[in-house]
């Protein structure tokens, strides 16, 4: 079972490396890792469990954050009704995006960045992503708002980019007025 200490801290150099494409069929090890990642995210969003086990809530996790240099990530988003919207995303590619830019009003976070970082991260409000599921089946999904932010955040991880890199160092709220807060 994954735990907080399995997730690499931003100081780890591997997080700055570009992940490599995955070939199919997936190894049993990769399938197991993907399922553990989903379970970790689900549990991290259970306030009681997270507090008891001292873990931070997260909705996305990339293989590279576990030291696995492969192009896959998972997203587990807890809906208001307690159900989860989940994605197992392998070899993703953004094929289109909206012109509208958004940012997370309370600030973007990351399970590998264990500190509060002030500033806005410009993200597309809507994106269309092509990827493969864990069975090697090609998928196309159009995501918006929080899920779109999560997809872009995780795809950045696969390219060695952390959200803190996207915040303007001199002016952390640069162009805020030209984007919509979510």
| Dist CA 161 CA 138 (whole Å) | 25
| Dist CA 131 CA 88 (whole Å) | 9
3-state secondary structure of 103: strand
* Inter-residue contact 102 to 123 (CB < 8 Å): yes
Give the number of domains in the chain.
1
Tally of helices (H runs) and strands (E runs) in the chain: 3, 8
Please say whether the dihedral angle defined by the alpha carbons of residues 39, 40, 41 and 45, taken in this order, is positive or negative.
positive
Q: What is the pLDDT of residue 54?
A: 87
pLDDT tens digit sequence for 33-72: 999 999 999 999 999 999 999 889 999 999 999 999 999 9
pLDDT tens digit sequence for 142-177: 999 999 999 999 999 999 999 999 999 999 999 999
Domain that holds residue 126: 4-181
CATH number at residue 94: 3.90.45.10
| Dist CA 129 CA 111 (whole Å) | 23
pTM: 0.95
Active site residue 154: yes
Local structure of residue 41 (DSSP, 8 states): H
Q: What is the dihedral of CA 136, 57, 4, 149, to 10 degrees?
A: 50
Of 10, 105, 130, 154, which one is the catalytic site residue? Answer: 154
């Amino acid at each position: 079972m994954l735990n907080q200490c399995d997730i690499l801290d931003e100081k780890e150099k591997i997080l700055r490396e570009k992940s490599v494409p995955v070939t199919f069929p997936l190894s049993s090890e990769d399938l197991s890792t993907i399922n553990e990642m989903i379970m970790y995210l689900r549990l991290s969003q259970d306030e009681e469990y997270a507090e008891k086990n001292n873990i931070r809530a997260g909705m996305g996790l990339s293989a590279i954050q576990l030291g696995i240099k492969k192009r896959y990530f998972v997203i587990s988003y807890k809906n208001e009704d307690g159900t989860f919207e989940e994605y197992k995303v392998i070899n993703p590619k953004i094929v289109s995006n909206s012109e509208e830019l958004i940012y997370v009003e309370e600030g973007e976070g990351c399970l590998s960045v264990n500190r509060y970082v002030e500033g806005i991260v410009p993200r597309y409000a809507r994106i269309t992503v092509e990827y493969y599921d864990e069975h090697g089946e090609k998928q196309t999904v159009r995501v918006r708002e929080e899920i779109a932010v999560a997809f872009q955040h995780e795809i950045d991880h696969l390219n060695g980019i952390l959200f803190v890199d996207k915040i303007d160092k001199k002016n952390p709220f640069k162009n805020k007025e030209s984007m919509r807060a979510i």
